[in-house]
Amino acid sequence: MTGKQIDAVQGVVGLIGVTIGLIPLARWAFTGEHGGLFEWSLGKCTELMGLLVPLATVLVGVGMIAALEGVKRRKRAGDRVE
């Protein structure tokens, strides 16, 4: 996997994390509703699950981006050695 491909995957993960995690979390905090895309993809979550599901989505996205960044860094270090 090249560095550009890793960047593209990071972008997709970030987009998903924002649209299915961060925005519904903010909407839920202010209005008590998550929005159509979140409810269509993950179902209707209420009470504590309404907080935990979007938060978990954001955390998984951040973790995946960090892991991909580590892969990219190791790949760059390996390219310098060769």
Query: Is residue 46 a contact partner of residue 54, using CB atoms and an 8 Å limit?
Result: no
Mean pLDDT of all residues in 61-74: 93
Q: DSSP code of 82?
A: -
For the chain, give the mean pLDDT.
85
Closest by CA to 17, choosing from 48, 82, 51, 62, is 62
pLDDT greater than 60 at residue 82: no
| Structure token digits, residue 48 | 């504590």
Cα–Cα distance measured from residue 26 to residue 66, given in angstroms and rounded to the nearest whole number: 23
**Alpha-carbon torsion (75, 78, 80, 82), positive or negative:** negative
